[in-house]
Amino acid sequence: MRTEALFRWIAERHAIYEAKNAGYPKPWTNDPILQAYRFCNVYRELDKVTQWIAEHWRHPHASEPEVWFAMTVARLVNWPDTLEELGYPVPFDPTHFSEVLERRKQAKEKVFTGVYIVPAKAGFSSKAKCLASEVLNPMWCQRNDITESARTLAEFHEQLMKYNGMGSFLAGQVVCDTKYTSLLKNSVDWWDWACSGPGSKRGLNRVMNYPVNQSWQGSMWSDTMSDLRRQIKPLITEVGMPEIHMQDLQNCLCEFDKYERVRLGEVSRATTMRGCLKGTNQMQLLTEEEAFDLLCRAFYESHHETLNPYNPRHREATYILSCLLNDMESGTLEAYLEDGKVRVRPTVKQ
């Protein structure tokens, strides 16, 4: 078990954050990979968008029962300028939500990021109206049921996933924001729950010296994660870092997987949803929108149906695409087109 290797990555990445935050000049590390490539912070609470959400929406309303709904809006939009223009979304006004997003779109201003994975359904003229009507309004109308389900992180996550557009990845992001409010701060699984994803599974396989794409059955992933956190905890305490909860550890495993891909020369890995895209043989970097559109086309060519996050059979593909778009937005992964396939690699710092 390569616990020490993972811990070294965690400690060095956080040391980079502290040196940068203290205003020290580059280089903040002697590790050539950490110097050259972008990686997310060890603690999600240090990310810029999370800090904006926490300062402007979460902290001022932390004791209110509907704060989870605001966290849902925040992560569906995930862009502070839009969130600031929206204002705190409780009580929810679907018309106001749609109008603000549409106005920004018409002004050619950035509207959102994470919403790309929630396309407009038939009958809606825009994603904003679809989000307001099909995703957010049903949750708002049933907010009491959802609030009452927030006894544990696991139960809250399961309840959120019952609603249109709320896949495992997005629901997990909402849980991670809401756990710092009065609604979930005393949950028995506050430190010990996380939802698995493709990156953290690969990262855990690397730590365990398993084949990198080995699957995890039943509760084996969560049991192994719990054991890993127990081993990591005293190492982190010894160097004076804050204790790490399971959702942050899960994210660190995703980043560790990216680090290992570079170290082992695996940086040019085709995505799981690869597909032959006719007439696109040139190599070019892609924006989030371009990657989303091309991968949806690839999915259609492979499965002969349109990728639909509302379809339970598409949940795994939706999760993978959500993770990719999130990593592209955070700047830790970039997507490019080569030989008719969309490929991803860790982002090289400029």
Q: What is the pLDDT of residue 279?
A: 43
43 close to 277: Cβ distance less than 8 angstroms: no
Q: What is the pLDDT of residue 124?
A: 66
Amino acid at the residue 88: Y
DSSP string over 29-72: -S-HHHHHB----SSGGGSHHHHHHIIIIIGGGTTSTTHHHHHH
pLDDT at 349: 74
Residue 250 CA to its chain's centroid (Å):
11
The SS3 call for residue 333 is strand
Instruction: Name the stretches of the chain with pLDDT < 70.
Output: 114-125, 267-283, 300, 309-310, 312, 315, 319, 340, 350
The alpha carbon dihedral of 158, 159, 164, 169 has a sign of negative
* Per-residue model confidence as pLDDT tens digits over 260-299: 998 998 865 433 333 334 444 456 777 777 777 777 777 7
Q: Contact 271/295 with Cβ under 8 angstroms?
A: yes
pLDDT for 119: 55
Token duo for residue 192: 């010990």
239 three-class SS: coil
State the CB neighbour count (10 A cutoff) for residue 152: 17
CA angle (170 as vertex; 116, 128 as ends), nearest 5: 40
Chain position carrying tokens 């709904």: 69
**Could you give the residue ranges of the DSSP H alpha helices within the chain?**
3-21, 32-36, 48-53, 67-77, 80-86, 94-106, 127-130, 137-141, 143-148, 153-160, 168-178, 198-208, 220-238, 246-263, 288-303, 315-330
For the record, the structure tokens of 46 come out as 């240090």
Residue type, 154: A
Residue 269: predicted pLDDT: 42
Handedness of CA 167, 168, 173, 177 (dihedral sign): positive
Tell me the residue type at 239: V
CA 125 to centroid of chain Cα atoms: 27
Pair of tokens at residue 79: 């862009």
**Residues across the chain:** 350
Q: Are 110 and 72 in contact (CB under 8 A)?
A: no
Cα–Cα dist 83/77, whole Å: 7
pTM: 0.83
Distance between CA atoms of residues 313 and 118, nearest Å = 15
Alpha carbon distance 343, 71 (integer Å):
31
Identity of residue 13:
R
- pLDDT, one tens digit per residue, over 207-216 is 999 999 999 9
Residue-level pLDDT at 300: 67
- Spatial distance between the Cα atoms of 192 and 208, rounded to a whole number of angstroms: 19
Q: Which helix (H) or strand (E) holds 334?
A: strand 333-338
What is the pLDDT, as a whole number, of residue 10?
A: 98
In the structure encoding, which two tokens stand for residue 305, read together? 């149906």
- Predicted confidence at residue 116, as pLDDT, reads 44
pLDDT at position 184 is 97
Residue type, 151: R
Nearest to 271 by CA among 330, 218, 184, 340: 340
The DSSP bridge partners found for residue 190 are none
CB 125 within 8 A of CB 167: no
